[in-house]
Structure 1
């Protein structure tokens, strides 16, 4: 039985329900990451006994599932765009924005699919964007490809944000601090392609990088939808 199929216990004088429990858990995770979340800490946040929570959620994994599904509600747009490309683009950017609001989400993306109502609705929206444009297997592979890019890009961005906080160095400060080492390594001539990238490449912010990579992935999907397999 999944956490969504488990009935809630009868109400008691002190109000408690899954919605309040999940909201408290998300607040804890937003403040201190997933390590700050436990049934005991959530109970303390709600001024409730830990044993009461077990009537609603029996395991931390179940709690995490509910938290992820709650955030998936933030990803769903109010209206589904009619154009498949815009639909997948909107979902991708809204996923990134949700992860920036709830950095712990990056640690839970990319595993098994979310089976909650909101998670299923996001998957439905992704597949529905390609409905009628490709056979089922092609649509599934396309959605998986876009999702893999989005997950990887988000994890990379969140990892950089965490590194900045841990070291106190911005990306540019880190580059300056490590500049002499990198310059010395490039001077050996062993890394000509990297040397060209360092000297000739253009620095862009995380949002621009994400958007550019996403468009390239969508270009690849478009090519597969309009042309025969390579």
Structure 2
């Protein structure tokens, strides 16, 4: 049974519901990451005793489920996408933007399926764009492939942002600090392919890199969908 299958208890004597609990937990996570979230801290933010929360949630995992579903409302498209490619592109970009607003989301992406009403609405909107394709197995592999790409890309981007904050070094600062070591290693001649990338490669920002990689993955999916079944 999920947290959404259980009725909420009476809000008396203090007005309380799962939406308020999720909002308080999200505020804590936005400020300090998932490690800053506990039932005790959420209760304190809502000015209630910790035991009051157990009428609404049973475990910390259920609290995370509520948080993920709440931010899935930000991922849900405002309009129905026109086709499957647009649906997957919108899903990827909206997920990335939501994760940049709520960095803790990156830690929960790619785990067990989200089953809350907002998450199910996101999935329904995405899958409905494939209505003209009868091969459901191929549709699911397409969605999984694109999801695997943007989940990994988002996690890497968030990890880089956290590293910058932890060290106080921007990406450019880090490159400058480690430049002498890299130069010495490349001068050995043992890494010619890497040397070519370092000397001749073009630096792009995270958003451009994300969009380019996404287009490549979508092109590959399109080629697979266009191929007649064997």
- The answer to whether structure 1 residue 26 and structure 2 residue 36 are counterparts is no
Question: Which residue matches 2:51?
Answer: 51
Q: What are the residue-to-residue correspondences of 1:214-229 with 2, within 5 Å?
A: 214-228=214-228
2:180 — aligned with what? Answer: 180
Equivalences for residues 88-127 of structure 1 within 5 A? 88-127=88-127
Q: CA deviation at 1:229?
A: 6.6
SS at match of 2:5: coil
Q: Partners in 2 of 1:131 and 1:175 — Cα distance?
A: 47
* Equivalence for 1:145: 145
Name stretches of at least 5 consecutive residues in structure 2 with no aligned partner.
none
- 1:132 matched residue in structure 2: 132
**CA 1:190–1:229 in structure 2 vs 1: closer, same or farther (change >3 Å)?**
farther
Shift of 1:131: 2.1
In structure 1, what is the Cα distance between the partners aligned to 2:90 and 2:9? 38
Aligned-partner Cα distance in 2 for 1:116–1:190? 52
Aligned residues: 230
Specify the SS of the correspondent of 2:202.
coil
TM-score w.r.t. the length of structure 2 is 0.97
- 1:96-151 per-position Cα deviation (integer Å, ceiling 9, x unaligned): 00000000000000011101111111122222222223510000000000000010
- 1:43-93 superposed Cα distances (whole Å, 9 cap, x missing partner): 000110000010111110000001001111100111112122112111110
CA distance in 1, matches of 2:68, 2:177: 37
Give the whole-Å Cα distance in 2 for the aligned partners of 1:131 and 1:172: 46
Output the TM-score relative to the length of structure 1: 0.97
The answer to whether residue 169 in structure 2 is matched with residue 157 in structure 1 is no
Taking only aligned residues, the RMSD between alpha carbons, in angstroms, comes to: 1.2
Q: Any unmatched runs of 5+ in structure 1?
A: none
Q: Distance in 1 between matches of 2:207 and 2:137?
A: 31
CA contact (8 A) 1:22 1:66 kept: yes
Runs of 4+ with >4 A deviation = none
Whether the 8 Å contact between 1:134 and 1:225 is mirrored in structure 2 is no
Q: Is the 8 A contact 1:109 1:151 kept in 2?
A: yes
CA displacement at 1:183 relative to structure 2: 0.8
Other structure's SS at 2:104 match: helix
129-138 or 202-211, larger mean C-alpha shift:
129-138
The answer to whether the 8 Å contact 1:74/1:98 transfers is yes
Select between 39-48 and 185-194 the one with higher mean Cα deviation.
185-194
Query: Which sits farther off after the overlay, 62-71 or 129-138?
Result: 129-138
- Partner of 1:4, secondary structure, is helix
